[in-house]
Structure 1
């Protein structure tokens, strides 16, 4: 079936709310860091910054619950297959609940491993532990929320997904101010605010989708039919492996930077928070592409597929230019959001240029991940991550000569190789297995 290819205007109308929706995801951790940063408590700033990196990294590990759900939901919606559409939600929700409960049960060894990988200084341990102890109870809600938001986005219900995340972040910001500024609960207050916001996200999402849900008696048997999970797991296994290597990169990055002292650890953590926001911006564009590519695959429409990929590149390039200009013009205001410590900001300024070029080197990797998510193909994404990891490991040797700059050089090289690898993989995939014309 051939449909009219999407226009640039249609892509933009879909993309802008998805970008906003996406960057709201890491803003819980960013908001926590910003609010506590205004207190001037260096230990609390470092503790929450590390705690936020811990959770952003853990949840990124299971981000496939949102990415793949978006692809399956988009394909099922255009095929008008009610059972497939319902199970595009039920399966990842069940998996999210199970994974979240496992994280809770394993919170002690998980925390110990995270603190080791992050090379947490003894002076920051009390604050980091407090932050993790509160927020870890939000794990099942975060992962279920990923599945629900991915399902809504795959159907094109972007406004609902955006509204859910806006309300969640407003709750977090309001409670941060009340608990930290008003009641002086410090790190515990910041973590509790995020936990309430994470629970609120799921409760609000369920109120939006409950009328769209259908659960027939026969679904119980299908829900636990392992064979039906095969394609879901095949796609997600590759994405899971991909994220394992991403976790190794972030952990190695943080640990190596920490070897240069607690100030450098805090600086790298702050800059990583900025990197997460930028990454999720491109993730929003990637989600747009996932929807459009998923629909094209559902219709077996090659023209729509080609146009979706072209528009992804065009909007991606425009985003790279826009973000780099904003980063260049607003360096000091952006940095001051995270800390009132002038000495810490001075050190951060030395390494800021690495964040400035991050969109150029790593942006397209996240856009192409959206393409392959829409195609429900995970192998190219997995392979690009392994290639990027090898590049990171080799370039990290430069720390022996250029110190912490070598850590960022390795990270930038990691993103550049991933972008190049996925671009080439998409070109090869088009030639070998293009979506067929009807």
Structure 2
């Protein structure tokens, strides 16, 4: 009954209240993910060993690949489920949810095995040096233990929002990440386990977060399902999820790949430069992660409106979300600028590493005020089921635009060029997102009901 009332709220009520009610828990969840990501680096930084900070910077993008694959099922499933509920197709929504659950189990297990088997090749690829090799290896070997749980947690923190349970969607991530933050100082500093302690805390946190979502379903609190018997190979369940989930995941995957490329190129300038870029990227994550949460929070609202063909309401929600996103990302960017020295000092004490981080962070923050608008536009495309447009956006920002820019700008201006590639990619990709969102919305509004679905 609660779920039905929450879904009815998607179609009525003040837009301001609806957006905030769904976006704030999503932003809070991503804020916890941010704090969790910062915690490892922060407490490792308290060892006053910049080599360990560099090792965590090398290992982080590899671990984030697990989260990006969870996005395949989380964002893809949310898009399909929210539109299905808008159309009144609850049984189909159950099939999609169950497919996402078992897809996470299989994909997570396969990925963990792959990383263990090819760990040496992966470390060579990410630019590990003789000083950082063993540290990064120990971190990743332990973190791979939680592979399936990372995917499940990342997936269902999105899917629960599709049935209006934004608060419960937040709680799983909140519990897992909070536990990780509590365990970090105990295991890194208290037990003296250093980088291995950070990895163990990460494993425990992810298992607890996934366990919360599994318990929620086993208690029968959801209108959706994770039962194996509800998994269906019919009704295009798999293709419907993947056609949106894969493009969405590519954005996260390419973010990891591009960070690996940056680390590989940056390692030529020394471990202190590598530690500096790792911390500088975490500074911009403060704005980026919160804005990702905002986009994910409004996506189910937009998807429901698409399924129910409430186009006037869709446009009101999108307009308010864009204005709110721009204001939020601008405030967060300004706050980071004003507190930049203090933020970096929390992670680095080595003066060379600090100087690199300060210079790199100032460059990266030059366009972070645009993050909110970009992520709302990206999620609006996913909400409409616009597979081709989503694919173009995902490939562009961290791939087709960013990676070539890395090599071109490095050749032109050296180490600073590696950093300026990201602001350039941000500007070009947001222009592309505005164009694609405007044209796709017009296309969807012209589609007759009987032919509407996932558009190319």
Partner of 1:130: 138
Cα shift readout 1:45-75 (whole Å, capped 9, x = no counterpart): 2212222232124422542222122222322
Q: TM-score, normalised by structure 1?
A: 0.91
Partner of 1:315: 324
User: Could you tell me whether the CA contact under 8 Å between 1:246 and 1:385 is conserved in 2?
Assistant: no
Partners of 1:213 and 1:168 in 2: how far apart?
A: 20
Partner of 1:146: 154
Partners of 1:249 and 1:49 in 2: how far apart?
A: 13
Partner of 2:4: none
Correspondent of 2:384 among 371, 375, 378: 375
2:431 paired with 1:423: no
SS at match of 1:338: coil
User: Could you tell me whether the CA contact under 8 Å between 1:60 and 1:243 is conserved in 2?
Assistant: yes
Aligned residue pairs, count? 437
Partners of 2:275 and 2:395 in 1: how far apart?
A: 28
Distance apart, 1:341 and its partner CA:
2.8
Flag the 1:109–1:380 CA change in 2: closer, same or farther, 3 A. Answer: farther
Partner of 1:111: 119
SS at match of 1:123: coil
Partners of 2:112 and 2:336 in 1: how far apart?
A: 37
Partner of 2:350: 341
Flag the 1:416–1:276 CA change in 2: closer, same or farther, 3 A. Answer: same
Partner of 1:401: 412
Distance apart, 1:358 and its partner CA:
3.5
User: Could you tell me whether the CA contact under 8 Å between 1:50 and 1:118 is conserved in 2?
Assistant: yes
Cα shift readout 1:117-153 (whole Å, capped 9, x = no counterpart): 3211110011100100110111100101122222211
Flag the 1:12–1:171 CA change in 2: closer, same or farther, 3 A. Answer: same
Q: How does 1:426-437 map to 2 (within 5 A)?
A: 426-434=437-445
User: Could you tell me whether the CA contact under 8 Å between 2:66 and 2:150 is conserved in 1?
Assistant: no
Flag the 1:185–1:424 CA change in 2: closer, same or farther, 3 A. Answer: same
SS at match of 1:357: coil
2:105 paired with 1:86: no
Cα shift readout 1:255-309 (whole Å, capped 9, x = no counterpart): 2222222111111111222333432211111112211111101211111111121
Which shifted more, 328-337 or 92-101?
328-337
Partners of 1:412 and 1:400 in 2: how far apart?
A: 17
2:42 paired with 1:34: yes
Q: How does 1:345-360 map to 2 (within 5 A)?
A: 345-360=354-369
Partner of 2:64: 56
Flag the 1:333–1:95 CA change in 2: closer, same or farther, 3 A. Answer: same
Cα shift readout 1:141-186 (whole Å, capped 9, x = no counterpart): 0101122222211122111122222221221122112212221111
Partner of 2:84: 76
Flag the 1:221–1:55 CA change in 2: closer, same or farther, 3 A. Answer: closer
Q: How does 1:150-189 map to 2 (within 5 A)?
A: 150-189=158-197
SS at match of 1:122: coil
Partner of 1:230: 239
Partner of 2:3: none
User: Could you tell me whether the CA contact under 8 Å between 1:61 and 1:240 is conserved in 2?
Assistant: yes
Distance apart, 1:109 and its partner CA:
4.9
User: Could you tell me whether the CA contact under 8 Å between 1:29 and 1:49 is conserved in 2?
Assistant: no
Distance apart, 1:383 and its partner CA:
1.0
Gapped runs of 5+ residues in structure 1?
none
User: Could you tell me whether the CA contact under 8 Å between 1:253 and 1:411 is conserved in 2?
Assistant: no
Partners of 1:347 and 1:247 in 2: how far apart?
A: 21
Distance apart, 1:3 and its partner CA:
4.2
Which shifted more, 330-339 or 271-280?
271-280
Partners of 1:240 and 1:163 in 2: how far apart?
A: 23
Distance apart, 1:417 and its partner CA:
1.8
Partners of 1:188 and 1:209 in 2: how far apart?
A: 33
Partner of 1:366: 375
Flag the 1:113–1:283 CA change in 2: closer, same or farther, 3 A. Answer: farther
Q: CA RMSD in A?
A: 2.6
Gapped runs of 5+ residues in structure 2?
1-7, 450-456
Partner of 2:29: 21
Partners of 2:230 and 2:97 in 1: how far apart?
A: 16
Cα shift readout 1:367-423 (whole Å, capped 9, x = no counterpart): 212111211223212112334433324433121232221011112212222211111
Q: How does 1:170-249 map to 2 (within 5 A)?
A: 170-210=178-218, 211-212=220-221, 220=229, 222-225=231-234, 227-249=236-258
Partners of 1:340 and 1:128 in 2: how far apart?
A: 20
Distance apart, 1:354 and its partner CA:
1.8
Which shifted more, 92-101 or 154-163?
154-163
Correspondent of 1:328 among 337, 343, 347: 337
